[in-house]
Structures are given as C-alpha cells and as structure tokens.
Chain A
Amino acid sequence: MSQPPRRKRFLKRPHLALISLLGVIVPRRLRADWRQEWQAELRHREELLAKWDQLNWHTKLDLLRRSTSAFWDALWMQTYRWEDAMIQDLRFAVRMLLKQPGFTVIAAFTLAIGIGANITIFSIVNSVLLRRLPYPKADRLVFLWSESNTQNIKEKPTAYGNISEWREQNNSFEDLAFFDPTSVTLTGTDEPEQVMSVHASASLFSLLGVAPALGRTFTDDEEQQKVRIAVLSHSLWQRRFGASPGVLGQTLEIDGVTSEVIGVMPEHFQFPENNSDIWLPHTLIPNWETQKAQRGAGAWRVIGRLKEQVSSEQAQAEMSTIAQGLEQAFPDLNKGLGISVVPFQLQLTGSNVRLALWTLFGAVVFVLLIACTNVANLMLARSIAREREMAIRIALGASRLRLIRQLLTESGLLAILGAAGGLLIASWSIQVLLRFSPLSIRDLDKVAIDAKVLAFTTVVSLLTALLFGLAPALKISQAHPGIALKEGRSASGGVGSRRLRSLLVITEFSLAVLLLAGAGLLIRSFMQLQRVDFGFDPQNVLLLQTAPARNSPADQWCFFYQQVSDRIAALPGVVAAGLTEEIFISGNPDGPITIERASADSSEPVRIPFRRDVISGDVFQTLRVPLHTGRFFNAQDNPGAAPVSIINETMARRFWASNQEALGQRFKLGSGQSRNPWLTIVGVVGDMRRQSLERESIAQIFLPYLQIPERRMNLLIRTTSEPTQIAAAVRNEIRAIDKTVVISRSSSLESRLADDVAQRRFQTWLLTLFSVIALLLAAVGIYGLIHQSVALRTREIGTRLALGAQPRDVLRLIVGQGMSLAFCGIGVGLLAALGLTRVLTNLLFGVTATDPTTFIATPLLLLLVALLACYLPALRAARVDPIAALRHE
C-alpha cells in the first residue's frame, strides 16, 4: 500500500497519529495487526463521511474523540501480555528473589525503612502543609499585619483608623475584612460557659466565600446600628441548641446582654481557630467608640482577598507604599510602621513548623537515598555471583537491553516489596508519632494515608527501583561473555565493580554526615534549652482561669477574689496561692512607657516590648520567683494609696543602672501626657520566661489587684503533691462562693509548659532517629563491601601471609581500605553539611549552624562506626589460613 511521508500523514490525520501512539502499549506481538485494524476502521469511517480534507472541524474533532475508543481496546489487549517478555521477566524475577531469601529480605527491609520514613513524613507534610484550605480560591487569601521595622516586631494587629485607610487606598484587593478573636461568657443558664468569640467586620464571610449553613450573616447596616446579633458555630449550635433548626430568632445571653441568633456556620468553618464558636459584629466590641478613632497598631487582624491578576508580592509592594504614605500623614502613631502581606496557608502553619517539616522531609529523602545505595551495593555484590549467568545469556544471544530490562524488573519487584513494607511501617509509625506529637502544629491530628500519599508512595518506589537498579543493571550487562565464561568466576568482580561500590559507600557516608550533623545541631539546641531556667518553678502548680459574671460590679470582683485566695490557701495540701491576669504571654506586646526624670525634657516616652499584669495574693511565692529588692504587694496597696508596681529585672536594667536604683522611681504607661497614673516601683523581681523557654524575658510590670481590679484572672496554686489532685476541691470552693462564676479546665503548669518544648523535642527526636538509621545503613554498607572484598581476596591474602606478611599487616591493609572510603565520604559530607545546616539556623537555639562541637563529634562518631564495620571482616582476613587459602578454589 502506498503511504505518504509519515510526519505529514500524522499532521493531516491526527486520529491516525493517535492510533500509532496508542499502539505502543499494545503487546508487541499484536501491535502491527492492531494498528492496521484500527487505521482501516477509521479510514472506513472517513469514507462514509466524505473526503477528509472537506470535513469541517466539528466532524474532525468527533472522529478524533471516537478514535480514543482505541485506548479501551488497547487496554483490553493487556491481558494478552501474559506470555509476553515482561511477564516472563516477572516470573523469573520472582524465582530469583525466592531463591535468595536472605538477600531479598534484607534488601526489601532496607527499602521498607527508607520508603516507610518517607511516607510517614510526607503524610505529615501533606496534611499540615499541602492540605487545601476549606475556602474557595484560598490561594488568593492573605493576612495583612502591621510590623514595626525599628523594633523588629512582626505581625502586629492594626488599629481601625489604619485599616480604613488601607481599604480606601489599595488597588490590590477585592476586599479587606478584619476581626479580633476574644472570648465571651454565655450566661443565662445554670452553668455559664466561656466560648471563643470573634468580633468581625461583615465582609469577613463573603471574603472567605463561606455561606452560613442556616440563616444569614450580619450586614454593614446592622454593624453601624450596633444591632445585637450573633452567628454561631456548628458545634455551639449543637451544644447549646441541640442542633435545632428553630434556633434562628432565638436569643442568647452574651456577657449578660441578650443577643439574637441570626445564623449558623457550616461544620467545617473554623475561623480563625478551630474552637471559634461565635461571630459578632465588630462594633459590639466593648470600647468600639474609642477604638474607632485609633491609628497605628491596634487590636484588629486583617485578612484580604487578592484580585485575580495581583500576586501577593505586588500587593506587598503596594501596601508598603501605602504604609509610607501613612507614616508621613500621621507620623506620631505610624512611625516606623510597615505592612506585611502573608499568604493564608503560610500564616496558618507558621514558618518554623514549615521549616521543621521540610527539614525532616529532606532528612528522610537522604535516608531513602542511603537505603537505595545500600541495596544497589547488595545487588552489585550479587551481580558478581551472577556474572556467569549473564555471560551465558549474552552468549546465547540476549541483547544488552534485554538484560537490563530483566534486571530492572527484579529491582522493580524489590521496590514493590519495599513499598508494601514501607506502607506497613508508615501506618504504624504515624500512630506512634501522633501520640507523641506536639499539639501546637495545626492539622497534625488529620494526618492519614490518603490517595495523595499513595500516589507519592508509587512515585517514590518507582524512582527508588530506578535508583538502586540502574547502576547494577548497566554494570552487569557489560559483562564480557568470553572472559566471564573462561575464568569461571570473578572477572570484573575486581576493579570496575569495586570502584562503583566504593563510590556508593562514599556517597552513603557523606549523606550520613549530613544527617548526623543536622541531628547533632538539634540535639545540642535541645540540650542548651534544657539548661535554660524558666525563672520560676513550674513543678506542683495548678493553673485555672475564673471570671465572675461580666455584669457584676468591680468591687464585688475584689471581694470574690479575696475570698477565693483565702479559702484556697486554707485547703489542705496547698502551700501558696496567687492570682494573675495572664501567666503566658502571647503575641508581641509592646507600647510606650514614660519614666519620670529629674529634667522634664528627658521624660520622653520610650516604646519597648513589655507586658503588664494585675496580680493578687502570693503569686511570686507560688511561682518561687526571687524578689531582688524592695517588697511584694500587701493590703495597704489599696485604691486609697499611691499607685504602685513591681517590675522585673529586664525592665530595671533597661532604664536604671541597678535594681536598687529603680526602687522608688516612678513611671507611667503611655506618653507623659496620658491620664494614666504615675506608678511607684516598690519591688524588683526576677525575670520569667513567659513567652517561651526559647525567648528572653521582656519587660514585665505587675500591678496590685486592689488598685486595678480585673474580671478574669488566672489562679495559681502551689501544692505539696500532684497538683491536679486538688482540682476538684478548688472548683468546689469557688462554686461555693459564687455559682455564676466561669471556671476553665484546670491543668498543671508543668503540662502547659511541656507543650512549649514538645515541638522541639518532636523534631529533634525524629531527626535523631533518622540519622541513626542512616548511620546503621552506612555501617552495614561499608561492612558488606569490606566483607565481600575479603572473600574475593582470600587467595591474595593467603599468598601475602605465605610470603611472610603478619596478620597485623593484613588487618591494616583491609581496615585501611575501608577507612580511606570512610574518610573520603566524611570529608565530602562535612563540606556539604557546612553549607546545608545553615538552612536550620532558625530552628537552632544557643548554638550556631557551624557549632564546632557538632562538627567534631559527628565525623568522630562516623569514623568509629566505620572502624568497627571494617574491623570485623579484617579480623577474619587476618585469621586466614594461608594453606587453605592457596588451595581455595
């Protein structure tokens, strides 16, 4: 039959090209027939329609679409493959693997560990970093924060005045919304309940693109008129209203004020936190009228939806310009205030969690690489034994490609075994990890093996098979039939293959150095952190939060807390008790402080990071915080007396030469003109690390409860034994005083602090585990190589011994051979590690990325392991009986 040139034909008749293409997957035996049958059918179709050139596009497309049916046909043809070369390969591979169960088990197990570690970490990465947010086009959502460049404080909330300027001036966003997560008390029933509430602008819901499951959300008008309405979370709706559809229009008493329920959000809507329970118009926030006028940094978090064509970088650029404009227009409050635009997903996970997870992911990839290297090594070792088999195959006419294919089928099978084992290991290790995981990582509880993870597993195992199978396959297929058959054994088992294997061992060692160095740095950080003192003693302290009803008068709160302190201190097993507004500091609080100086002009306000707390009772005694100078508060520090304060050492050092000097000095919060009272310093206490063990204490200011009553307080109780045991008694005492009081769940202070270190412990533990695996695999690798080289050189060693070499010399020879590889690998690894560990800088604490201890200890440890791994086979070599060795073979 006459055929036009191929390419031209394909272009003119795409459907015929498709058939040719699909033919590739049809078993070769049937391929030609199959293609011809289909082409004939399509041509017949064409003829029925008309001449191809005259067909319109619609018909052409239709024809093309129909020719895709050929795909199903081709798929059906796969069943004919059973007698195909591929199946033969597969059957042969299974037989080979079964014939050498030791090799198979070790190789599959090594791969299973590598792949399993990868699946585990990937499933965490998948659910924490790669999970899609439950909002339409979530990649368009960004957070906008005020940031103070001069003080290096990032992600500060913003005042309303600034937000409305942003809203008016920007061209990057479809819309902006703002919110402030706080908490309110639901009253009006027997048991008051404290829930997380969110005061939000009406635009929040439309901006996120989530419609209520029931009813509606609030409008701009309602916000302006301060209508008392509320939107509930799905869980609050179930809890409080029994999921009744009649909830709309019902009322709810929020902080003693009646509000109407207008909507219920869907179950998956968890904004901004997964325990947010109620959304209220932002104007209902208690001090809205004063807030409205404020500028600069403030209380509101801002979220924006980018316009279609605008990238977050472009938005960042525009917002920076706007920030500069604001700085010029309102210099007093916007001085040094920038705007940062942070993508939602990034905001959720936090850059450190992100970095930690990617680091772990990098680590497991290295572990897998080492595992692959090991298996490649094993296969190379085996290839020496199979040289004869291959030589016969080549002599009988097998092509090189055919041999490679055969060997790759074997590796593929091994990889599948490894992947199956890896899945088992992963499903088990995920369970274990979740049990020990820190709660602070969002979405960690949703980790599971899903379709994406399975796809990942498939890809990884295929890549693995290629990685560890290709080099041995290429090597083995080079076997020269003449030589291999003549000598009977060990033709290339000498030079070429050993060089490749040496290279593999060097690679293993450099990867192991990388991992160990990383783990070492984290371990060192962790140890450094263990040495850090909180500045208080968290052992045997019970922590719980209480708050009297909001509508009760302030002097009643004083009376209430006085009673609480007294009665709890009298409980058996209680050593001391105190109340503080907050025990942990979240976010980056800061503000202006004015120190009273002799000369009026030096009394300029200074903006510093600080935290102010109202305390009552024996807080410092309870926490065992040392009093450096002065006194604690007492009953004389009442509303009638001069306002006083206790400060911490950091604050004293910031403004005065010594603690003594600070005593008796006066300062006020805010600028000198503010109506805040001047506070006299009566005592200086030790620093407490209340943000995190990893962060230096900021300035802390304590005020006496009697002078500035607060409604919601944290109760701290030091006990003689396990603090949670008296939790029930404490609860009863408080209830006995006032039934309407909200009491939060109590916990021991120690357990709360454990969360702080948990994430670091988690990542350190994991990275250490991975590097130990890497170390073991590398040791096994070098052991295997030396072991086999000893076996191959038995004759040579025998000759040496017969000619007068001492066992000592043989030992040195063999160990030297192994150690030179180890040295090479460690050298390369150290160089790489010096470059790579810099990535870890943000995860380190108290050590630099080039910490000398780590970088000396790591190679030493590896050398030691290498020495041990080489010494054992070398010892065997040294014990060779020369007579036996020479007769050998």
Chain B
Amino acid sequence: MGKGFMTYASAVILRAISNGYLYGFDIIDITGVPGGTVYPALRRLEEAGYLVSKWEKQSISQSEPRPQRKYYELTRAGREALAEAIKRYRLLEQPQLQRVREPKTSRA
C-alpha cells in the first residue's frame, strides 16, 4: 500500500493498537471491523512499516505458562500516519475508540 493513503479500516486498526488493543479479537470487538478485514490489514500495515511485531521473551511465556505472544507496536511512521488519518477521518475520535486499555499482563 502506498504510504500516502490509508483506508478508514486501516486507520481504525492503527488507532486501536495505539490504544493498547493488541490482539485481533480485541480490535474486532472494539472497532466492529470484521475479522476478514482486520488480519490482512495487520499484515499490510506491517509490510508498509506502520507496525512492527515483537515476540515476547520466552521467560515470560514459560512462567505463565502459555504460548509465546507476538505484540504489534506502532512505528514512528505508523504514529505519523495515524495522526494524519485522524485529521481526515473525524470518526476516529469517537469515544469508544479513545478508550485506552491497560495491558492485562506485562509487556515484553
């Protein structure tokens, strides 16, 4: 995808991630964007350099125990693109998207 243009769905997803919704399901729940759109969009955003993914440290997953988690974070480019998108899509400021989530478990 070109850097200059971002779809509304992509912007919503970036917004959700920046607010701490780190999983596809959470993003689906909070945004209402269907799963068939969210996952491809995540991959695309990562390709475009707006997101980076990081695997959590193995020690954390082993202490729980649970499978290792992969977290997405906004890159600088991602934050800029989001700021740009917020200007364009006023709807992004709706309250439910603004709600910031406290991570339930410790981050990597």
B15-32 interface mask toward A, CB cutoff 8 Å, 1 = contact, 0 = none? Answer: 000000001110010000
Residue contact B67 to A69, C-beta cutoff 8 Å: no
The stretch that binds B, out of A71-79, A457-465, A478-486, A747-755, is: A71-79
Using CB atoms, name the residue of chain A closest to B58: A1
**Please, how many angstroms separate the alpha-carbon atoms of A36 and B61 in the complex?**
12
A72 touches which one: B25, B40, B66 (CB < 8 A)? B40
Q: Which A residues are CB-close (under 8 A) to B24?
A: 41, 69, 73
Q: Which B residues are CB-close (under 8 A) to A48?
A: 104
Using CB atoms, name the residue of chain B closest to A76: B40
Number of A-B residue pairs at CB separation under 8 A = 59
A37 touches which one: B25, B40, B70 (CB < 8 A)? B70
**Please, how many angstroms separate the alpha-carbon atoms of A542 and B43 in the complex?**
76
Q: Known: A1-B61, A66-B25, A77-B43. Is A44-B35 also a contact (CB below 8 A)? A: no
Residue contact B35 to A40, C-beta cutoff 8 Å: no
Residue contact A1 to B65, C-beta cutoff 8 Å: yes
Residue contact A41 to B65, C-beta cutoff 8 Å: no
**Please, how many angstroms separate the alpha-carbon atoms of A68 and B34 in the complex?**
11
Q: Known: A41-B23, A41-B25, A45-B23. Is A69-B35 also a contact (CB below 8 A)? A: yes
Using CB atoms, name the residue of chain A closest to B25: A45
**Please, how many angstroms separate the alpha-carbon atoms of A48 and B68 in the complex?**
17
Q: Known: A41-B23, A45-B23. Is A73-B39 also a contact (CB below 8 A)? A: yes
A40 touches which one: B40, B43, B70, B104 (CB < 8 A)? B70
**Please, how many angstroms separate the alpha-carbon atoms of A68 and B37 in the complex?**
12
Residue contact B40 to A36, C-beta cutoff 8 Å: no
A39 in the interface (beta carbon within 8 A): yes
B106 in the interface (beta carbon within 8 A): no
B51-73 interface mask toward A, CB cutoff 8 Å, 1 = contact, 0 = none? Answer: 00000000001100111111000
Q: Which B residues are CB-close (under 8 A) to A77?
A: 43
CB distance from A50 to the nearest CB of B (A): 13
B95 in the interface (beta carbon within 8 A): no
Residue contact A68 to B66, C-beta cutoff 8 Å: no
Residue contact A44 to B68, C-beta cutoff 8 Å: no
A70 in the interface (beta carbon within 8 A): yes
Classify chain A: how many residues form its interface, as a range: 20 to 34
How many residues of chain B are within 8 Å of chain A by beta carbon? 21
**Please, how many angstroms separate the alpha-carbon atoms of A70 and B35 in the complex?**
8
A43 in the interface (beta carbon within 8 A): yes
**Please, how many angstroms separate the alpha-carbon atoms of A45 and B24 in the complex?**
10
B85 in the interface (beta carbon within 8 A): no
Residue contact B28 to A66, C-beta cutoff 8 Å: yes
**Please, how many angstroms separate the alpha-carbon atoms of A32 and B104 in the complex?**
25
A76 touches which one: B25, B43, B68 (CB < 8 A)? B43
A 1-58 contacts with B by CB, 8 A: 1-2, 33, 36-37, 39-41, 43-45, 47-48
Residue contact A40 to B36, C-beta cutoff 8 Å: no
Q: Known: A41-B23, A76-B39, A76-B43. Is A69-B68 also a contact (CB below 8 A)? A: no
B11 in the interface (beta carbon within 8 A): no
B39 touches which one: A1, A45, A70 (CB < 8 A)? A70
B82 in the interface (beta carbon within 8 A): no
B13 in the interface (beta carbon within 8 A): no
CB distance from B5 to the nearest CB of A (A): 19
A54-91 interface mask toward B, CB cutoff 8 Å, 1 = contact, 0 = none? Answer: 00000000000010111011011100000000000000
Residue contact A73 to B43, C-beta cutoff 8 Å: yes
Using CB atoms, name the residue of chain A closest to B61: A1
Residue contact B39 to A72, C-beta cutoff 8 Å: yes
Q: Which A residues are CB-close (under 8 A) to B14?
A: none
B38 in the interface (beta carbon within 8 A): yes
A68 touches which one: B35, B38, B70 (CB < 8 A)? B35
Residue contact B70 to A43, C-beta cutoff 8 Å: no
Residue contact A40 to B25, C-beta cutoff 8 Å: no
Not counting A1-B68, A48-B104, A73-B24, a sample of 8 additional A-B residue pairs whose C-beta atoms are within 8 angstroms of each other reads A1-B62, A2-B65, A40-B66, A41-B23, A41-B25, A41-B69, A45-B25, A72-B39
- Listed from nearest, the 4 A-B pairs whose CB atoms lie closest are A69-B35, A73-B39, A76-B40, A72-B36
Return 28 A-B CB contacts under 8 Å, by A number. Answer: A1-B61, A1-B62, A1-B68, A2-B65, A36-B67, A37-B69, A40-B66, A40-B67, A40-B68, A40-B70, A41-B24, A41-B69, A44-B69, A45-B23, A66-B35, A68-B35, A69-B24, A69-B36, A69-B38, A70-B39, A72-B35, A72-B39, A73-B40, A73-B42, A73-B43, A76-B39, A76-B40, A76-B43
B: residues with CB less than 8 A from A are 23-25, 28, 35-40, 42-43, 61-62, 65-70, 104
